[in-house]
Amino acid sequence: MIDAAATEGQSFLMEPRSIILKSGLYVTATPIGNLGDMTYRAVETMKAADLILCEDTRQTAKLCSAYGIETPRSPYHDHNAARVRPGIITKMQDGAAICLVSDAGTPLISDPGYKLVREARDAGLDVFPVPGANAAITALCAAGAPSDQFFFAGFPPSKSGAREQVFNSLSTVPGVIAFYETGPRLGDSLIAMAKAFGDRQAVVARELTKLHEEFREGILMELGQSYKDQPPKGEIVILVFPAENRPVDDKDINDYLQNALEEMSVKDAAAAAAQELGIAKKTAYQRALAIKERR
């Protein structure tokens, strides 16, 4: 949701280029909190479109008023989508340029729009992405989680049995797993994740781009217990690190060296530990030596 406080006093009115849009569907991302994250192209597109389809017209009205967008708006959400879709397709076939927005972020990502895009493509219509903010990517780019591979898992199911099943099915995902969650369910969800994923590291990213933005990192079970005691307010992304990206602790180093010293010299075991665990060579050598001397 838009956080007016984060952008208080700023004006986002700008002179639009007068563009003419080809007919088709414009899937347009909007900010996830900070109004300033609206892209220039999103403003131009929303101004030039014949119609803006909104998840909630009142929410989009705030955005339109901040940017001087006067295009007619019409609701498109889970409850009316099946009924209004045929009419929207007909309008585009008749030459209309139609913009699809959600309340925040990128449409279709845990938001309505998939069936409309599918049907527009099946009807041979053009579908244009107008990219911008997305909460999962926003969390990932600043959380310090490994970012080479990630899996977007959306909202976990609310019922505990279904949730457990989903988490178990994700336990072998090799990269980061990104979830959306609500404050009241956060604690239980993190505890259930700890049971399925083990003692992995995770980041809870809250109120991204807003006044009370917060990143909190920890082990899943510890985060879960703490948030269960004090459920947080606001919007939340959870990033669960892959199993091997848990920070190396003393036990990992000792276990590794104990095994390595069965077959290697102190020097070689230390070099292997430094390479495998990403620790300093000097630390690895001193530990290896101490273990060897205790034997």
- Residues that bind ligand SAM in the complex, under the rule CB under 6 A: 32-33, 102, 104-106, 109-111, 134-136, 180-182, 205-210, 235-237
Q: At its nearest, how many Å lie between ligand SAM and the CB of residue 43?
A: 18
Distance, in Å, from the CA atom of 107 to the CA atom of 49, rounded to the nearest integer, reads 16
Q: At its nearest, how many Å lie between ligand SAM and the CB of residue 283?
A: 37
Closest to ligand SAM by CB, 208 vs 220, is 208
Distance, in Å, from the CA atom of 273 to the CA atom of 294, rounded to the nearest integer, reads 18
| Beta bridge partner(s), residue 3 | none
Quick count: other Cβ atoms within 10 Å of Cβ 17? 11
Q: At its nearest, how many Å lie between ligand SAM and the CB of residue 133?
A: 7
Is residue 223 helix, strand or coil? helix
φ, ψ at 24 (rounded to 5°): 140, -170
118 Cβ partners below 8 Å, 6+ apart? none
Closest to ligand SAM by CB, 186 vs 273, is 186
Closest to ligand SAM by CB, 113 vs 242, is 113
Is residue 239 helix, strand or coil? strand
Q: At its nearest, how many Å lie between ligand SAM and the CB of residue 129?
A: 12
Closest to ligand SAM by CB, 88 vs 135, is 135
The residue whose two tokens read 């900010």 is: 31
Nearest-CB residue to ligand SAM? Answer: 105
Closest to ligand SAM by CB, 203 vs 205, is 205
The residue whose two tokens read 């000792």 is: 254
Q: At its nearest, how many Å lie between ligand SAM and the CB of residue 272?
A: 41
φ, ψ at 130 (rounded to 5°): -120, 90
